[in-house]
Amino acid sequence: MEIKAEAALPSRFGDFRIIGIFDTHKGEEHTAIVRGTVDGAEDVPVRIHSECHTGDVLGSLRCDCRDQLEAALHYIGQRDRGAVIYMRQEGRGIGLINKIRAYTLQDQGYDTVEANEKLGFPAEAREYQGAAAILELLGIRSVALLTNNPAKIEGLREVGMTITRRIPIVIEPNEFNAHYLATKKTRMGHLY
């Protein structure tokens, strides 16, 4: 991982710095949205957020991704320090086109886990080595992770990141994502 660019990022959630990071092994670009001084800090509030083009950009109601991202930015924007690591891992790691294919299967009655598996992917294909490398690059020693996903906590611990605590992000379901959120809870072990 290499830092390639950095700039001020004033936003509706607070004043941040945006850092462009290049994964030299995978050829992918990620960003870190950072508030305050995190270098050498412990118990830093951090959200590891996987890209969701349909939710984050287009405002899809099929998921809670944009709501989680905005809740994390709002939370960190009210603190002295923190970071959102925005990873290019669309569709829990299966990619945008395959995520759209999974949507088609969900429209036919499959849940999100079944749809991924029918396409030949695991329910969860994200990896956390890249996120841990970014946290290390930023000098963050330990993380208070904003997540509902115990697998994310375990994945980061497995690659050497110290997680001090979990900060829940509670998003109210809507008529379009209620089944998806229930599936994440019952089939993937997410907490709320």
Q: Which pLDDT score, from 0 to 100, does residue 179 have?
A: 59
48 annotated as ligand-binding: yes
Contact by Cβ (8 Å): 46, 143:
yes
68 annotated as ligand-binding: yes
Residues labelled catalytic: 126
Query: In 24-151, at which residue ranges do the beta strands (DSSP E only) sit?
Result: 28-35, 44-50, 82-87, 142-146
Contact by Cβ (8 Å): 39, 136:
no
Task: Give the largest Cα separation in the chain, rounded.
Answer: 49
| Residue 17, strand partner residues | 8, 34
Cα–Cα distance for residue pair 123/120, rounded to 1 Å: 9
Q: Which pLDDT score, from 0 to 100, does residue 183 have?
A: 59
172 annotated as ligand-binding: no
**Confidence (pTM):** 0.86
55 annotated as ligand-binding: no
What are the distances in angstroms from CA 181 to CA 170, 172, 186?
Answer: 11, 9, 9
The structure tokens listed for 178 are: 């209620």
Q: Which pLDDT score, from 0 to 100, does residue 184 have?
A: 53
25 annotated as ligand-binding: no
Q: Which pLDDT score, from 0 to 100, does residue 63 have?
A: 83
On whether the 2-89+126-188 domain is CATH 3.20.20.140, my answer is: no
Rounded to 5 degrees, φ, ψ at 113 are: -70, -50
Q: Which pLDDT score, from 0 to 100, does residue 190 have?
A: 59
Low-confidence ranges of the chain (pLDDT < 50): none
Q: Which pLDDT score, from 0 to 100, does residue 192 have?
A: 60
124 annotated as ligand-binding: no
Burial classification of residue 40, based on how many CB atoms lie within 10 Å of its CB (0-12 exposed, 13-18 middle, 19 or more buried): exposed
DSSP assignment letter at 147 = -
